[in-house]
Amino acid sequence: MNRRQFFKGLGVAGVSSLLPLPVMRTVLAKSGGRETDTCWLTPQETAGPFYFNANLIREDIRTDVDTGVYHDGLPLRMNISVVDEDCTPIPDVIVDVWHADKDGLYSGYVQQGGSTVGQDFMRGIQLTDSAGNCSFITSYPGWYPGRANHVHFKVRLDSTTYVTSQFAFPDAVNDEVHVTPLYAARGVNPTTNSLDSIFQSPEPEHELMDVVSDGEGGYTGSYTIGIAGATSVRREAEYTPDRFWLKPNYPNPFNPSTTLVFNLPTSSTVRLVVFDLAGREVARLAEGQLPAGEHRRTFDGSGLPSGFYFCKLVAGTFSDMQEMLLVK
């Protein structure tokens, strides 16, 4: 893959909250495709009505965990890279994906075509490696009325969701897929990328996964997500002695323990509590009056299952929360 192909998945952010710095800079300038040394940012899009945090840390997302039912379709490996606005790969980013199965159904919802309440197929979470890469093994997404074939995703780091968006697939590949035996009964999707309410283009800029045949009856796709303001260097300026703050835990992800650091500019009554996704308290790390200054607490998840946990600090009228990921 050449440099231009690599950055094809990067996009311009149209939402001011994604742009804490003046980062409207590009790898491919619109005039003449001239290359520069900075990156596009991935556009924000709606999460849609079918999101829920299934808390599933897995690469292969084709199976419903509780029933063990495998949702077949043409195999698709999705290779995803995450970079910042300077094109630097970002490690330890949480990438959360979800999409419809070959029949156009999402797990976990009542929808046109049937109910899948209680199921969690075609959902999963992966962490980027030291090179900013992760991958998912899935079945090529099917379609449902009014939408082109697509995948939803969220990117999170240190409790912050940096982008929620979607990517499409080339119309030509969709048409190939729709005439294969597993998909042919539903026919070709009448909603192409250009007719889709989100993408509105045959090749939606910075929202199209590059897809090639894997030579074995399936496909391999590549997509790069660009996010802004995700480096710890920028956040360090916030952690001054005259302010309340709760730093992201380190390490994160962790197994079995992680450290939280918080600061009190004045002596304060403090509560530092850890909750699971259901809102149940699983640990109390601090409670009572503490002196001004920096404090450290360790959270030990040895007796807990893998998944997301939330640590909430309350100090007087100040409160903050960090998202932590335990991976065993």
CATH (domain of 12): 2.60.130.10
Angstrom distance (rounded) from CA 278 to CA 48: 22
One domain for residues 102 and 213? yes
Domain count, the chain: 2
Average pLDDT, the chain: 86
C-alpha distances (whole Å) from 107 to each of 82, 152, 154, 185 are 26, 13, 17, 21
Residue 9 has pLDDT above 80, yes or no: no
Report pTM.
Answer: 0.74
pLDDT tens digits along 105-137: 999 999 888 899 999 999 999 999 989 999 999
One domain for residues 60 and 115? yes
One domain for residues 244 and 295? yes
Q: What would the mean pLDDT of 36-56 be, rounded to a whole number?
A: 82
One domain for residues 185 and 292? no
3-state secondary structure of 253: coil
**pLDDT for the residue 328:** 84
**pLDDT for the residue 218:** 98
Which tokens is 10 given? Answer: 């990067």
One domain for residues 218 and 167? yes
pLDDT tens digits along 146-189: 999 999 999 988 767 789 999 999 999 999 999 999 999 999 99
pLDDT tens digits along 262-291: 999 999 999 999 998 778 899 999 999 999
- Of 206, 232, 258, the residue that ends a domain is 232
CB 323 within 8 A of CB 310: yes
One domain for residues 29 and 176? yes
Q: What would the mean pLDDT of 200-205 be, rounded to a whole number?
A: 94
Which tokens is 307 given? Answer: 């998944």
Residue 36 has pLDDT above 70, yes or no: no
- Of 215, 232, 249, the residue that ends a domain is 232
- Of 232, 256, 274, the residue that ends a domain is 232
One domain for residues 104 and 252? no
CB 183 within 8 A of CB 142: yes
Say what the alpha-carbon torsion angle 166, 170, 173, 177 is, to the nearest 10 degrees: 30
**pLDDT for the residue 233:** 47
One domain for residues 224 and 242? no
3-state secondary structure of 101: coil
CATH (domain of 259): 2.60.40.1930
Span of 5-19, 164-178, 252-266, 309-323 with lowest mean pLDDT: 5-19
One domain for residues 220 and 254? no
Angstrom distance (rounded) from CA 203 to CA 291: 58
**pLDDT for the residue 236:** 66
Angstrom distance (rounded) from CA 207 to CA 45: 10
pLDDT tens digits along 224-244: 999 986 655 446 667 899 999
One domain for residues 60 and 171? yes
One domain for residues 177 and 313? no
Domain that holds residue 246: 238-326
One domain for residues 35 and 123? yes
Angstrom distance (rounded) from CA 121 to CA 56: 10
Residue of 2, 18, 57 lying closest to 225 (CA atoms): 18
Beta bridge partners of 191: none
In this structure, what are the phi and psi dihedrals at residue 17, rounded to the nearest 5 degrees?
-65, -15
